[in-house]
Copies of this chain bind each other. A is one copy, B any other.
Amino acid sequence: MIAGPCAVESPRQMLLAAQAVKRAGAKCLRGGAYKPRTSPYSFQGLGLQGLQILHEVSQKVKMPAVTEVVEVGDVAAVERYASAFQVGARNMQNFRLLKALGQSRKPVILKRGMAASVEDLLLAAEYILSEGNANVILCERGIRTFETATRNTLDLNAIPHIKTHSHLPVIVDPSHGTGVREYVAPMARAAVACGADGLLVEVHPNPKEALSDGHQSLDFRQFASLMRSLRPFVKAAGRRF
């Protein structure tokens, strides 16, 4: 279970979130320093300063941290401050970036693009693997369909499909996958039930004031409740947190 805020906003916000998700049982911390946003007028992340905050909090709470990298030029900085890279949906086919990450030995969480078939995702992973980094974790985070009830259509069918076509681990992001706070817990349970190897969930001290994606973030109480509700399903799946 990887949890944390969408974006690193301040040392205090990050520390509170880290302590809360650790207390509830999360194993890894997330927090974005470089935020690719649809509009140039939205909050774009704290950049290097955000990386440093994430690093300090990660040391303090003794949890590894994962953060998004959006540019070849940032790979070295992210490698220094974080335990794992995340490649966002918009960069799934940024092949130069993938090749650069293939030179690293740190794990790469590769998110499926909004219009990417599972085959496209597996071929994108090849760009990293073929450069020598075998440590790739795939992430289903929803595709674009005609349905507007959810922000994206989380495509859990991808999980058994990937499991029969690849040896790579696959995790699920129900926060971006649905875009609706109330659907995060049921879809997280469903992800566990169909064979996902992990979960990536957005948690914020105060979702209403989040600088990005507040409507899909859980608060601490909701996250603790999610963790409790997941346990019997994790056990039924024969897995452990």
Contacts and interface: CB of A to CB of B under 8 A. Distances in A.
Interface of A: 36-41, 70-73, 90-91, 93-96, 99, 113-115, 117-120, 123-124, 126-127, 130, 143-150, 153-161, 163-164, 177-178, 180, 182-183, 186-187, 189-195, 232-233, 235-237
Contact of A149 (B72, B117, B191): B117
A168 to B, nearest CB: 15
A226 to B, nearest CB: 13
A227 to B, nearest CB: 14
Task: State how many copies of this chain the complex holds.
Answer: 4
A40 B193 CA distance: 33
Contacts of A118: 147, 149
Contacts of A115: 113-115, 143-144, 146
Contacts of A94: 70, 90-91, 94
A178 B157 contact: yes
A81 to B, nearest CB: 18
A36 B97 CA distance: 11
Given A160-B182, A160-B183, A190-B190, A153 B153 contact: yes
A149 to B, nearest CB: 5
Q: What are the 9 closest A-B residue pairs judged by CB atoms, nearest first? A: A115-B115, A232-B236, A193-B193, A190-B190, A190-B194, A90-B93, A186-B194, A114-B115, A189-B193
Contact of A70 (B96, B163, B186): B96
A161 B150 contact: yes
A153 B224 CA distance: 31
B143 A147 contact: yes
Contacts of A95: 36-37, 40, 70
A155 B160 contact: no
A134 to B, nearest CB: 15
Contacts of A193: 186, 189-190, 192-194, 233
Contact of A93 (B38, B157, B187): B38
A232 to B, nearest CB: 4
A145 B153 contact: yes
A233 B164 CA distance: 22
Contacts of A145: 143, 145-146, 153, 155
A174 to B, nearest CB: 9
A192 B130 CA distance: 38
